[in-house]
Amino acid sequence: MPATIDYRQAGVDIDEGDRAVSRIRTLARRTFDRHVLTGIGSFGAAYRLSGWQQPVLVSSADGVGTKLKVAFLTGRHDTVGQDLVNHCVNDIMVQGAVPLFFLDYFATGKLDAGVAAEVIGGIAKACEENRCALIGGETAEMPGLYAHSEYDLAGFIVGAVERRRLLTGSTIRSGDVLLGLPSTGLHTNGYSLARKLLFETAGLGHESYIDELGCTVGEELLKVHRSYARPIRALADAGLLKGAAHITGGGITENLPRVLPAGLSAEIATASWTIPPVFELLRRIGNVPVDDWRRTFNLGIGMILVAGARGLGRAERILAAIGERPVQLGTVRKASRREGRIVWR
């Protein structure tokens, strides 16, 4: 008679999965609002859309990239979930949408309910902060597909905006002002290069303390990708926001042109802000070419808001009232074929 083989012997622990889902259910419930019609555990999540006249749904999907490698290295898993939510929130809010609900995908070779709870706990925390319901997701255990103690993470967000308030950048004109909002660090981009430079080229460890950073390498790299929901909403509600660009992979060089109408370019004053020490450190370690440096990292500017020159003073006062200190990065102008869409001065 052949030996009995169950799912656990194949590498999947259903009981551990149940423990993980039980913890996730508790975390998710804290994010629910009156629009959520089903709880965690249903085959599909149901959300009632009400109170809108001509709603446009705006959605986005993203991951955390190789920043996860830093989480594995340090054994700290509570920040990457926050990164994931905030990144997705920023991506839909630059189009004027407010976040409605979020779903996550967490996949690993061997499920550890404690690690899963840390990650999902970070997701739930950011959902609460962004007033977004965590209404579902997938926790998958797939032995043989991932290295020991590693996992993958992805997020999916849906938001809504009244059609008349959808931000497309179409009203941006020459002479409009570019306001930069500070990042908290690398956010979730450029980590493949950053890890190579810090860990391989410089020979540093995640516990290495760097005086110019004022923290360890691991602490710097795990700084949470911030949400810009509050300043975006404040300017949009005041009717002062013409466009916004989330500065992620590609840096200012590739992300700002995405919101500029054809025929327009952006002139950026490089002396208008102080680039944080971590970016200067990375550039110095690898002697990274300036153009590549600008296309890989956000260089301390995580969001760029476009406002009209006439409303600039009011926009700055509104941002100051909520604790934001924007920098005037430059202006929008007519494009020149010779200089391209981004002109660095």
194 and 308 together in one domain: yes
Name the residue among 179, 183, 180, 345 with its Cα closest to residue 278.
Answer: 183
Task: Name residue 246's beta-bridge partners.
Answer: 303
Cα 156 from Cα 32, distance rounded (Å): 16
Whether 75 has a pLDDT exceeding 80, the answer reads yes
Structure tokens at 138: 């997938």
% of the chain beyond a pLDDT of 70: 92
DSSP-assigned states of every residue in 80-139: HHHHHHHHHHHHHHTTTPEEEEEEEEEEESS--HHHHHHHHHHHHHHHHHTT-EEEEEEE
Cα 150 from Cα 35, distance rounded (Å): 35
73 and 192 together in one domain: no
> How does residue 46 score in pLDDT terms, banded at 50, 70 and 90?
confident
Q: What is the tally of structural domains in the chain?
A: 2
Evaluate whether residue 2 is within a structural domain: no
CATH number where 43 lies? 3.30.1330.10
Structure tokens at 230: 């509050």
Whether 9 has a pLDDT exceeding 60, the answer reads no
> How does residue 51 score in pLDDT terms, banded at 50, 70 and 90?
confident
24 and 127 together in one domain: yes
- Radius of gyration from C-alpha coordinates of the chain: 22
What is the three-class DSSP state of 329? Answer: strand
Range of the domain at 137: 8-165
Phi-psi region of 131 (alpha: psi -120 to 50; beta: other; left: phi over 0): left
pTM of the predicted model as reported, rounded to 2 decimal places? 0.91
137 and 242 together in one domain: no
Mean pLDDT value across the chain:
91
Whether 57 has a pLDDT exceeding 60, the answer reads yes
269 and 141 together in one domain: no
Q: What is the pLDDT of residue 45?
A: 83
